[in-house]
Amino acid sequence: MTSLSQFKRGVFVLALSTLAACNSSTDNRTPTATEAKQFLADSQAHLEELQLPAVQAAWVYSNFITDDSAAISALLGEKLSSAAVKYAVDAAQFNGVDVDADTRRQLELLKQSLTLPAPADAAKSAELAKIGTELDGLYGKGKYCKTDGTCLNLNDMTTILANSRDPQELLDIWTGWREISPPMKPLYTRQVEIANEGSKELGFDDLSDLWRAKYDMPGDEFASELDRLWGQVKPFYDALHCHVRAELGNYYGNDIVPQDKAIPAHLLGNMWAQSWGNIYDIVKPKQEMQVVDITKALEEKGYDEIQMVKTGEAFFSSLGFDPLPETFWERSLITKPEDREVVCHASAWDIDDKDDIRIKMCTQRTGEDFQTVHHELGHNYYQRAYKNQPLLYRGSAHDGFHEAVGDTIGLSITPKYLKQIGLIENIPDESNDIGMLMQLALEKIAFLPFGLMIDQWRWKVFSGEVEPKDYNKAWWELREKYQGVRAPVERSEDAFDPGAKYHIPGNTPYTRYFLAHILQFQLHEALCKIAGDQGPINRCTIYGNKDAGKALNALLEMGMSKPWPDALEAIAGTRQMDGGSIANYFAPLKTWLDEQNQGRQCGW
């Protein structure tokens, strides 16, 4: 579930050889503040001109997958990304120029749009682009072929890990997938070397310094901020970990799951042990619980896919937002066509940065997709809210906010909301909440340390603190430190297990997901207070409350125009991200977990 704002900013990160060495300053004189303003105006105008056809082509490719649509999308995307690389590199010439705060912010955002900056050396720039393509190919083509000749792709293996309860089969699949990544290690090592050179040419110490600079505070302060947030949520994670390990031990035996060590990674229902929802059947509360079945309710009420989206639109209309434009209904892909292949991954698109917003989903009449519809529309309403900002400000306050806003709306899909819209007749009483909270915790809380440690590892690699010979060792040290999860078998120095997670070879920053998981609960709690809800926040919905809608819109309209603390303050009344809302939301489950964990050995 993504927004197209991420796609647009994503095409800006490609380091292409043709233009990375360009610089608009051809003499040694110092540029002026007036020239900086003109540079920003010209570059944004040109990028806007290139952006529309590139996004239209990407939409066509996602909805009509052919060799021709792929080639056209790649060509126009390359033109846009090439120009963005040139302007990001050119922006560095104004590093020492005395300009106003708004101009400085736009210049910095333009430079920071690069995730892998190429150095001026054309040969190294070309090498960097080639390495990126090779890493993508190694991951995308990855398969595990067993000794009997059966070959499995990642989707096949994901299904097995989710459903099998045979520890030997799980171990075989877990180790099999990780055979794809050792060839990545020399490529990744060289990629880091070249990108660090490019980062230094932009004025940063290294690539980790560039990545942390995106958060409106010095890099060291941001690292400390992450530690503070983790400290707030760690007690709850520890309680969940203790319960899950104990139940896994009961199920598989303590010889397979020792009660004084980290949990073997292959038993948690997910290829990377990043979310644990697939083992709910093993760790769920034993007592019978009344849980709302949204899928069944949709069927009983005769909802079709269009009505599901109309219901999502009505949620935002109830908050005071304008209805979706007619073009949304004319141009969105809401159900999977029978006559062609499409990219079914749910996403929200803003085609022209004005009013041509769309969703692309192969919607099914399920409770999961009912939630997803509300989430994706959260992206769309965010996109439309900041449409009047300059191009460089059309995005979320920081990269965690876009996903957080979509998930915040999802947290309002409570039984109370479902009753208000007539989808269910009765709201289960609070004694039934533990099951729902457990399911959510296995997805959201279990993810937090994984979301944090990915970039903790990368920043150490980028800075040189972790050398190539220690890549895998450092990876598992961090996983055990933060997650209490361990490799189920001995891993060699050259295994390069980080490469088995897409975001490493794909060079997608990951801290955004950790922050989104923190922020969604903070935003939800703040909006519930504004709405005047007096009950537990896990039961709150902001549906129908115009005051909550007004506060939400104030955040959305800012886009990236102000530092993120300003945006957060506009809605939550504080300039600090706060993990305390997670403790408030899951308080009943924490009490239950503490009761279950009495007499158990916790920690690792």
Q: How far is CA 32 from CA 48, 68, 97, 98, 107, in A?
A: 24, 45, 7, 8, 13
- d(CA 305, CA 577) in angstroms, rounded, equals 36
Query: Is residue 14 classed exposed, middle or buried when 0-12, 13-18 and 19+ CB atoms within 10 A define those classes?
Result: buried
Note the Cα 507 to chain centre separation in Å. Answer: 13
- Which pairing describes strands 151-152 and 144-145: parallel, antiparallel, or unpaired? antiparallel
Identified catalytic residue from 35, 179, 443, 503:
503
Q: Which pairs with CB-CB distance under 8 Å and at least 24 residues apart come from 576-580?
A: 577/225, 577/229, 577/515, 577/518, 577/519, 577/522, 578/229, 578/232, 578/518, 578/522, 579/229, 579/230, 579/232, 579/233, 579/518, 579/521, 579/522, 580/232, 580/522
CA angle 559, 560, 566 (to 5 degrees): 90
Q: What share of the chain is helix, strand, coil (3-state, %, to 5)?
A: 60, 5, 35
CA angle 195, 199, 203 (to 5 degrees): 170
Say if residues 126 and 198 touch (Cβ distance below 8 Å). no
DSSP track, 114-149: -SSPPPS-HHHHHHHHHHHHHHHHHHHT--EE-TTS
- To the query of whether residue 243 is one of the catalytic residues in this protein, the response is no
Identified catalytic residue from 376, 403, 480, 525:
376
Handedness of CA 570, 572, 573, 577 (dihedral sign): negative
DSSP code of residue 422: T
- Select from 77, 54, 12 the least CA-distant residue to 395: 12
Contacts (Cβ under 8 Å, ≥6 apart) of 396: 5, 382, 402, 405, 559, 560
Q: Please give the structure tokens belonging to residue 168.
A: 């030997």
- d(CA 531, CA 231) in angstroms, rounded, equals 29
Handedness of CA 161, 167, 168, 172 (dihedral sign): positive
DSSP H or E stretch at residue 473: helix 471-483
Contacts (Cβ under 8 Å, ≥6 apart) of 553: 319, 320, 321, 385
Task: Give the 3-state secondary structure of residue 358.
Answer: strand
- Select from 114, 275, 323 the least CA-distant residue to 200: 114
Alpha helices in 284-414 (DSSP H): 294-300, 305-318, 326-331, 367-385, 401-411
- To the query of whether residue 48 is one of the catalytic residues in this protein, the response is no
Say if residues 548 and 531 touch (Cβ distance below 8 Å). yes
| Residue 198: CA count within 13 A, CB half-sphere | 40
- d(CA 384, CA 394) in angstroms, rounded, equals 9
Cite the active site residues.
376, 503
